[in-house]
Structure 1
Amino acid sequence: MATDFQQEIKDLRTTMTSVRDVTDLGALETQIADLEQQAAAPDLWDDQEKAQAVTSALSRAKAEFDRVTGMDARVDDLEVLVEMGQEENDAETLAEAERELTSLKKAVGELEVRTLLSGEYDEREAVVTIRAGAGGVDAADFAEMLLRMYLRWAERHGYPTKVMDTSYAEEAGLKSATFEVNVPYAYGNLSVEGGTHRLVRISPFDNQGRRQTSFAAVEVIPLIEGTDSIEIPENELKIDVFRSSGPGGQSVNTTDSAVRMTHIPTGTVVSMQNEKSQIQNRAAALRVMQSRLLLLKRAEEAAVKKEMAGDVKASWGDQMRSYVLNPYQMVKDLRTEFETGNPTAVFDGDIDGFIEAGIRWQIAERKADD
């Protein structure tokens, strides 16, 4: 059946209208002009923290403005391409328009989801920690598969990442890994990935070829910014230093540069070993510790509010997603019911469908709680 380009373009324009309404381009332009004025001040860098906050906010605002206006321009260009192809009855031009329509529908859908991200920390960059759970060596291998999945997802989108810490298991895989995704809205997108992930497969580590179920936990927190007010007294922190190690316990550093930081009152532990010096690892660990404590503080406040409202139900189950490789092939999110029969693509970073469904589910949950 021939594509109804006219209806498809009309639908795209309708979606973009709602995106512009939510984004409020006029207010965004005013914000950009104000930030540009601040950024042009000759004494801006006298205050490093303020300067970084201003330049970061300006970069985010410009990117958001360009993202919306650029999408509008693509819809206009598509309409021109379709008119050319139809007027000249040019099959090649119409085929090109078909490809652009498919690409544009995906991009506009992602932009629409972005407008739903209105949580307090959704605009932030993200810190993701993956930990092997029950399942022995299969769980450690699963943790490494998840790390690769998220790094490939970021790579597909051109998002910069930085692996901050990797703790290798003895036989194979990872005990844990921590990495940053350094792009605005990384937290808003990836926050829906937090929870327990479950893998079912024939274990490559079982010489009898039995099916094995293993688990891994994914934690996603917003990256702390200099403007956040989280002060941690030094007497609440315990700092241990040790030698960095690679796979199989292989030493990768001849000095005690790795840092393990423990927040004594909460028992929160952060390890960093991928920076070159102890000072850099300590700074990175402190930043992640501040992020975790900030989120913990907000979670406690939210729990108190829910208790006062008489609603104490948990919003996350023990398992949020299952990856089944045997006896059939399927990845299914247990909250949103979103699923695919192609686990290979998922483990190669094709998780946008899960993230979009998760964000829409999360928004619905928030509305239900209000």
Structure 2
Amino acid sequence: MHPDVSADLNELDTTLTTVEKVLDVEELRRRIDELEHQASDPELWNDQEHAQQVTSQLSHTQAELRRVEELRSRLDDMAVLYELAEEEGPDAVADAHAERAQLRTDIEAMEVKTMLSGEYDQRDALVNIRAGAGGVDAADWAEMLMRMYIRWAEKRGYGVEVYDTSYAEEAGIKSATFAVKAPYSYGTLSIEMGTHRLVRISPFDNQGRRQTSFAEVEVLPVVETTDHIDIDENDVRVDVYRSSGPGGQSVNTTDSAVRLTHVPTGIVVTCQNEKSQLQNKVSAMRVLQAKLLERKRQEERAEMDALKGDGGSSWGNQMRSYVLHPYQMVKDLRTEYEVNNPSAVLDGEIDGFIEAGIRWRMSENQA
């Protein structure tokens, strides 16, 4: 085997060994045994929500163990693969190089996952997208971003639940709120928070001029009972109204949409995607709790930053540019990571940006 190949395989082995230690493979096996024991209890399904949590955690933990075991098995096979390839000729050696490159990509992706150790990183994510400056183009852009994240989630088999979509008059959306239901989706998607900028020839401009539009992406962790975000009923004003879809069509003929206003903070949350008023109120309450938890976290962070004499991170600033004209490029302004295929990115291929972002965030936190 060529010394360069041998050195590369040793480096991959070191990285994978670190990943195995951080994930604690033995602990994963113990956790799977414990969850399988819980899942086999016939009493479990008396509490539907708890049962779903157990089965979801079980499938996630099994998948995690399977992924790390598969990586170890592939790495162990590489030396043999090269021996056979060298006997077979140049084409087989080229195939072995390709498998080694793919294995590096897969191990590095797993390594990034181990960097998600924040207090809320393992939670489901609540994503809120709002059209910014740019009129009808911005509303269309907000809808394109929503599709991008939903496609990203679907490709991974993650559940998505849309709580609210506020359609713009001509095209696109004013805002939308949806949950991505998978362990670590908050830690993963939180790197997407900030202002996303689109430059393109406007399909809504009859003179075909170039237009720049903006949309804001907010990512919050879904609240759990341990967070103790208690909301006094007297602090919440509840308004009900009729849901409406694109073009003002009535989605249903009853006042099932719900708007909650948290009077002390002025936070307003709407939910209109469920059929019943009660379901909408429960979903809206979940979003309100997440917003209040984030507010509490920001206040704590501001206190810490004040103690450190630090201005805090500029999360709200422009963080990614998507250019469709005069050239094609998507570039992250924090990590410098860029791709020359915007259509693939807008179809949910954002893992490269997420991985670069998580590594960037970790280096910023250590600085």
Same fold (TM over 0.5): yes
Match of 1:220 in 2: 219
CA distance in 1, matches of 2:275, 2:49: 24
Matches of residues 11-26 of structure 1 in structure 2 within 5 Å? 11-26=11-26
Q: Does structure 2 conserve the Cα–Cα contact (< 8 Å) formed by 1:53 and 1:227?
A: no
Deviations 1:110-156 (A, max 9, x none): 10100111101111111111110111001001001111111122223
Structure 1 residue 48, shift from structure 2 partner = 6.8
Match of 1:175 in 2: 174
CA distance in 2, matches of 1:75, 1:243: 58
- Is 214-223 or 6-15 further displaced after alignment? 6-15
CA distance in 2, matches of 1:58, 1:158: 15
Q: Does structure 1 conserve the Cα–Cα contact (< 8 Å) formed by 2:193 and 2:316?
A: no
Change (3 A) 1:57 1:341: closer
Match of 1:69 in 2: 69
Which amino acid is 1:66 matched to? R
Change (3 A) 1:228 1:63: farther
Which amino acid is 1:20 matched to? E
> Is residue 85 of structure 1 aligned with residue 85 of structure 2?
yes
> Percent of pairs identical after alignment?
61
Q: Does structure 2 conserve the Cα–Cα contact (< 8 Å) formed by 1:202 and 1:212?
A: yes
CA distance in 1, matches of 2:280, 2:49: 20
Match of 1:251 in 2: 250
Secondary structure of 2:237 counterpart: strand
Q: Does structure 2 conserve the Cα–Cα contact (< 8 Å) formed by 1:168 and 1:175?
A: yes
- Is 124-133 or 160-169 further displaced after alignment? 160-169
- Is 55-64 or 18-27 further displaced after alignment? 55-64
Secondary structure of 1:158 counterpart: coil
Match of 2:99 in 1: 100
Number of residue-to-residue matches in the alignment: 366
Which amino acid is 1:117 matched to? L
Secondary structure of 1:100 counterpart: helix
Deviations 1:156-177 (A, max 9, x none): 3232222222111000111111
Secondary structure of 1:320 counterpart: strand
Structure 1 residue 216, shift from structure 2 partner = 0.3
Change (3 A) 1:133 1:95: same
- Is 194-203 or 80-89 further displaced after alignment? 80-89
CA distance in 2, matches of 1:280, 1:78: 53
Q: Does structure 2 conserve the Cα–Cα contact (< 8 Å) formed by 1:49 and 1:227?
A: no
Structure 1 residue 196, shift from structure 2 partner = 0.8
Match of 1:209 in 2: 208
Which amino acid is 1:148 matched to? R
Which amino acid is 1:17 matched to? T
Deviations 1:43-71 (A, max 9, x none): 66677776666555544443333322222
Secondary structure of 2:196 counterpart: strand
> Is residue 304 of structure 1 aligned with residue 295 of structure 2?
no
- Is 263-272 or 307-316 further displaced after alignment? 307-316
Match of 1:231 in 2: 230
CA distance in 2, matches of 1:162, 1:84: 49
Deviations 1:65-110 (A, max 9, x none): 332222212323444433333334483x555544433432222121
Gaps of 5+ in 2: none
Match of 1:141 in 2: 140
Match of 2:189 in 1: 190
CA distance in 1, matches of 2:13, 2:149: 32
Secondary structure of 2:318 counterpart: coil
Structure 1 residue 361, shift from structure 2 partner = 1.1
Secondary structure of 2:312 counterpart: coil
CA distance in 1, matches of 2:164, 2:29: 39
Secondary structure of 1:227 counterpart: helix
